Structure 1
C-alpha cells in the first residue's frame, strides 16, 4: 500500500522531520508531502513571478493563490492529512487546510498541545485522531498501514 500523507501547519519546529524519521525507521510505504516551509519563499511566491503590487494586500493575495495551487493539489491527492497547530503562531492557513481536507472527506489527524483543545474543538471534531506528539502520528500511520 503506497499512501500519500500531507503534512500541513506550522513551520517553525522539527515535527515534520520527526514524522519522516519515524515513518522511515518503521519502513512504512508512504510519501510525505507538505507546503513550502521556507516562510520568506512562501510569502514571495506570487510576487517573485507576477511582480510587486501597489499594496501589500495584493502581494499577499498573489502569494496565497500561487501557494494554493500546491496546497489544494497535494491535499486532494493525499490519503491522509496531518495538520499541526504549533504554540508560537496562530496558523489560520492550517485551519483552512483542515477544513478543506474535511470537506473532501480526507482522513484527518490533528497535532497540537492540550492548551489548544478548546480553540480547536471544531477542527478536532472533524479529525479522526488528535495527537500530541509527532511520534503518535507515526504510530497511527503504522497501525493503519499494517498488512
Structure 2
C-alpha cells in the first residue's frame, strides 16, 4: 500500500449510481482515494451560467454560458487528478464525457474508460487513449486497487 492519497476524477453519465459503487468499493478496500466529479445535478449544470451571469433568450448562449461555468470546475479537477475514470452509460450519448476523456488525455492523465460492449465500436478512439477499458464499476475498483497497491 502507498502512503500517497490518490485523486480520481469520475466523469460521465449522471443517471445511475456508478460513482457511489466505485467509492464504496474503494472504501471497503481501504484505498487512499479522494474522488472528485462534475456537478451531477442536471438542472444546476444546465442553468448555472444564466443563474450566475444573467438570462439569455437564445438557447445556444444559455448553454454556452453553462458550459463555460461548468468548465471552471471540470477542467480544474481533471488537471488535479491522478486518474480519470470516464463512464459512458446506456441511455444517453455523453458528448461531455467524450470531451473530458480527450481533455484528460491531452493533459497526459491516466484514463480508465467504462462502458458496455455495445459502445465498443463507437468509442474505439476514446478506448485507444485509455490505459484500461472496463465494463463494470467493480472492474474499475479492481483496477484502482491494483494501481494503488500493486496487489490483485
Determine if the TM-score, normalized by the shorter chain, exceeds 0.5: yes
Residue in 2 that maps onto 1:25: 28
Distance in 2, Cα, partners of 1:10 & 1:144: 24
Distance in 2, Cα, partners of 1:90 & 1:144: 29
Residue in 1 that maps onto 2:69: 66
The residue correspondences of 1:1-147 to structure 2 (distance < 5 A) are 1-146=4-149
**DSSP-derived class of the 1:23 partner:** helix
Distance in 2, Cα, partners of 1:74 & 1:123: 20
Distance in 2, Cα, partners of 1:52 & 1:19: 37
Distance in 1, Cα, partners of 2:49 & 2:131: 34
1:54 Cα deviation after fit: 2.0
Runs of 4+ aligned residues of structure 1 deviating over 3 Å after TM superposition are: none
RMSD (Å), alpha carbons: 0.7
Instruction: Give the unaligned 5+ runs of structure 2.
Output: none
Normalising by structure 1, report the TM-score.
0.99
Normalising by structure 2, report the TM-score.
0.95
Instruction: Give the unaligned 5+ runs of structure 1.
Output: none
Distance in 2, Cα, partners of 1:23 & 1:116: 26
